[in-house]
Amino acid sequence: MDITIGPVVRFIAFPITFLTLGLFRLVLNALLLKLASMFTPGFRIDGFLNALLGSLVLTILEIVLRRVAWATL
């Protein structure tokens, strides 16, 4: 789901993301995470705040993994 909807939503929301210096990207990721939880059985997120916190954790984890991947090259 995120493969098809995510890039389209991010492209449309790029002006807002640019104006907020990328912070709106966390909101977009939270919305996509909440959307994914609606369609995935056994995966549930209650509330937008939990989705936002999950989005923040996933963003930090992605940054750490990218740094580790670059360090091994």
Q: What is the pLDDT along the chain (73 residues), one digit of tens a residue?
A: 446 888 888 899 999 999 999 899 999 999 999 998 998 999 999 999 999 999 999 989 988 999 999 988 7
Total domains in the chain come to 1
Per-residue b or e along 2-28, where b marks 16 or more CB atoms closer than 10 Å to that residue's CB: eeeebeeeeeebeeebeeeeeebbbbb
pLDDT at position 72 is 84
Could you tell me which of 49, 20, 17, 45 has the C-alpha nearest to residue 33? 45
> In angstroms, how far is CA 11 from the centroid of its own chain?
14
pLDDT at position 3 is 67
Segments of 1-73 assigned E as strands: none
What is the DSSP-derived secondary structure letter of residue 47?
Answer: S
Query: For residue 62, what are the domain limits?
Result: 2-72
